[in-house]
């Protein structure tokens, strides 16, 4: 087709122009003198046809124009999106709020490290509350002995020793000394063994269950870093300690 010669004319022309080869037609197409609507003489049919109907010749004459148009439209589309995006830039405070789950879009997606820290804090303060309640339950029945404190009488009031230990651990934990957790775990196991044995042998089922709940809750609050687990453990532990306190302070009166 490169050596083929063509005659062209417009619909309004009475005379044809040519002959032109494909390179010359391509130059005319670049200047806009030849379009899809230009007529070209077809020697096979001996008739004038539109260049747009000759797909092979059309591809030779207008390839780059099609690509440029497509590219321009893509660039225009990108610019339109950029111009319509009026959202303000994200600030550092907004990024931190999103990480902490304090925004509307991220309130259900709390950062794991932050969630673990919150769970640990809830567990620590729950332990403080449980130890204070336990201390009151253990010291209150022997309040007369405490007001007239005599070292030699401690063996007759072993629960006072437990109460003093619980109060000391509550103060230490309240000061943020989480290194006391191993001692608190030992205290939870010791309280379960000591008080649990006393209540069980006396057939006091409700106080026994309260001791179990309080001791297990105290123990779990020192090891869990899951917010749902620590909340359940704290609730069970505080309820159990309150149950023991009720029995020891008011149950015997």
Please choose, from the candidates 214, 211, 216, the residue with its C-alpha nearest in 3D space to the C-alpha of residue 199: 211
Please choose, from the candidates 174, 165, 242, 178, the residue with its C-alpha nearest in 3D space to the C-alpha of residue 209: 242
Structural domain count, the chain: 2
Does 67 or 44 have the greater pLDDT score?
A: 44
- Residue 103 belongs to some domain of the structure: no
Shared domain for 148 and 243, answered yes or no, is yes
Does 209 or 117 have the greater pLDDT score?
A: 209
ω into 19 cis (within 30 of 0): yes
Q: pTM here? A: 0.54
CA terminus-to-terminus distance, the chain:
116
- Span 165-214, pLDDT tens digits: 888 999 998 898 888 899 999 989 988 888 888 888 988 889 899 999 99
What residues make up the domain containing 77? 6-83
CB contact at 8 A, 132 and 239: no
Q: Is 203 helix (H, G, I), strand (E, B) or coil?
A: coil
Shared domain for 64 and 128, answered yes or no, is no
Share of the chain residues as helix, strand and coil, in percent rounded to the nearest 5? 70, 5, 25
Name the burial class of residue 145, with classes exposed (0-12), middle (13-18) and buried (19+) by CB atoms within 10 angstroms of its CB: middle
Please choose, from the candidates 12, 9, 5, the residue with its C-alpha nearest in 3D space to the C-alpha of residue 47: 9
Q: What is the pLDDT of residue 94?
A: 63
Does 78 or 24 have the greater pLDDT score?
A: 24
* Average pLDDT for the chain: 77
The Cα diameter of the chain in Å comes to 134
- Span 25-40, pLDDT tens digits: 778 777 778 787 787 7
What is the DSSP track for 130-183?
HHHHHHHHHHGGGHHHHHT--GGGGGG-HHHHHHHHHHHHHHHHHTT-GGGHHH
- Residue 133 belongs to some domain of the structure: yes
Q: What is the distance between the alpha carbons of residues 70 and 54, in angstroms, rounded to a whole number?
A: 22
Shared domain for 41 and 145, answered yes or no, is no
- Which two tokens mark 120? 């640990």
Final residue belonging to a domain, choices 31, 62, 83 = 83
Shared domain for 123 and 228, answered yes or no, is yes
């Amino acid at each position: 087709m490169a050596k083929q010669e063509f005659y062209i004319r417009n619909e309004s022309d009475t005379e044809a122009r040519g002959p032109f080869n494909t390179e010359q037609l391509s130059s005319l197409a670049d200047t806009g003198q030849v379009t899809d609507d230009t007529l070209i003489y077809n020697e096979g049919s001996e008739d004038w046809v539109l260049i747009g109907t000759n797909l092979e010749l059309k591809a030779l004459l207008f390839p780059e124009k099609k690509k440029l148009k497509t590219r321009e439209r893509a660039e225009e589309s990108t610019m339109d999106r950029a111009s319509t995006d009026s959202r303000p830039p994200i600030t550092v405070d907004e990024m931190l709020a999103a990480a902490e789950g304090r925004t509307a879009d991220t309130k259900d997606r709390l950062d794991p490290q932050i969630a673990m820290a919150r769970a640990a804090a809830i567990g620590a303060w729950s332990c403080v509350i449980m130890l204070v309640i336990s201390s009151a339950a253990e010291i209150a029945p022997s309040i007369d002995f405490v007001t007239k404190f005599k070292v030699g009488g401690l063996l007759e009031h072993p629960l006072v020793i437990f109460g003093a230990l619980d109060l000391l651990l509550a103060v230490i934990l309240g000061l943020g000394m989480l290194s006391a957790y191993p001692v608190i775990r030992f205290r939870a196991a010791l309280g379960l063994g000591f008080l649990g044995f006393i209540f069980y042998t006396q057939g006091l089922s409700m106080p026994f269950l309260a001791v179990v709940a309080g001791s297990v809750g105290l123990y779990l609050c020192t090891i869990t870093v899951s917010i749902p687990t620590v909340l359940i453990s704290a609730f069970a532990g505080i309820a159990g300690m309150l149950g023991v306190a009720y029995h020891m302070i008011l149950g015997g009166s």
